[in-house]
Each structure stands twice: as structure tokens, then as C-alpha cells.
Amino acid sequence: MAYGKRFGLFACMFILCFITCSVIVGIISYISGGITTAALRIMTVLQDIVVFILPAIATAIMITRKPDSFLSINCKPKAHQIILTVLAIVASIPAMNLIVQWNESISFPESLKAIEQWMKTSEESAATSVKLLLGGTSSLDLILSIMIVGILAGLSEELFFRGMLQKLFQTRPMNIHFAIWVTAIIFSVIHLQFYGFFPRMILGAFFGYLVWWSGSLWLPVIAHALNNTLVVVSQWMLEKGILDSDLSELGTTLSITDLTLIITSVVCTTIFVYALFNRRNKI
């Protein structure tokens, strides 16, 4: 099937699934009498399955005889790749927190204040939804949040963006770096959270390079799920009173301790990512 037809089919599948999911979510919201934690969890699971997983798998089945190979889910990552990826994600936390803080501090000129206000309102709405989704401080709340926000979101979004979208770009004569970064930009834009745009784009690019270097979608799935799970666990421990400060605050001050932490974060992350890159042909 020609590149244009493949992309058109994927776009049609996504739109169809998005509309279907929107209708179902509307019905659930009406039946539940509003947006509750239970309803939001059900809606999120439906969105991940119907909007992200279904279009990717259905399109892969229709455009190739080997959908598992096309989506890069037929190959398992090596143990050293998983270890290096986990170390890179953990080591990058302070540096990424600094980028998040910088992104959040961006302001617009007076002529664009209306757009800035809309973005801030969207950001606040998203934060409220996430807090409601995570629920309370019970062990069950933590388990459900890890399964939904961590594991399922990591799997569904990687199938959609790195498994299908990035692979579609690669089926056209295109520079692999361009395909990875365009996918990362789309990945960040679709979240509709400008004040997290740049760190999310960087993470998206990292996930894209992981699947390219390893040939396995499971490596970025692990990285994505781990990144989300760390946020979930940190928030849960903060609400529980186990932590005095959020994990997202590491490296966000100009203190000597945080500056040292940021430098260490950048150096260690660079080393781990380089190790992943250096061993890309030894799979």
C-alpha cells in the first residue's frame, strides 16, 4: 500500500475511534452524574484502548502481513538496554525538572495574553483532572493509578506514536532523526499542555530513539511507563505524608546542592544515553 494511503487509513481510523470514544465517554459522564474519580478512570482506560491502541493495531493489520513486526512488538529488548534505560530515566529527573520549570515560566507579549490565559486555564484544568484521576491515598488507589497512568498510558501512547506514527514516517524516504522529532512534537502537542510542551517533546524524542536503537517498542514502553509511574508514586507519597516535597522539585532552585544535582543529572544521563546509542548495533 502506498505511503499516502497508509497515512490516510491511519488518520481515518484515529478519527473514527476518537468520535466513538467521545460518544461513549459522554454517555458515561451522563450516567455517573458528573466526573468522579471512578468515571474518570473508566474514561481514561477507554481512551487509551479505543483512541490509541485500536487505531494502531487495526491499521497495522490492514497495511501489512506482519503487523507485529511493523509495530516493533515482536522483538524483546536486551537486559542491558532495559537497565540503561531505567538509569537514564531516573538520572534525568533533576535536569528535566529544570526544563519543566523553565517551560512553565515562559510568558507571552501583551498582544498574545488571551492565548496565554487560555493555555494557563487548560493547564489548570488538566492538573485538576490528573489529581482527580489519581484518587485518594489508599494502596488500591496507588495500584490503580500505576496501572492506568503508568502502564496502560505508556503502552497505548507508545503503540500509537512510536509503533505506528513514527514507523509510518519511516516508510517514506525520510531522515530518521526528522521522523523521530516530528513524532515527538506531535506527541507533545496532542496533550494540549503548552507548559509541559518542551520536556514532553524531549521525552518523546528519547522514546523514539529507543525504538530505533533497539528495534523493540517494548523499550520505550518500559521507559514511558516508568516515567509516569515515578510521578504517580511521588504524588501518592506526598499526599500520604511520606514525602515532604514533590519529586518534581528536585533541581529547581539555585542552591549549590541543586546545581550540583543538575550537573550530575546531565552528566549521568548523557553517559547512559550514549551507552544505549553505542550498543545499538549489538542487538
Distant-in-sequence, close-in-space partners of 2: CB < 8 Å, separation ≥ 6 = none
C-alpha cell read off for 222: 518500559
Core vs surface per residue 22-33: b (16+ CB within 10 A) or e: eeebeebbeeee
Output the pLDDT for position 1: 67
Residue-level pLDDT at 281: 55
CA distance 229 to 48: 16
Per-residue pLDDT tens for 219-259? 999 999 999 999 999 989 988 888 877 788 888 887 898 89
**pLDDT score of 241:** 83
Which residues of the chain have a pLDDT value below 50? 283
CA angle 252–272–182, rounded 5-degree value: 75
- pLDDT at position 248 is 82
Q: Is residue 184 within 8 Å of residue 204, measured between CB atoms?
A: yes
| pLDDT in the model for residue 283 | 42
**Its pTM surpasses 0.85:** yes
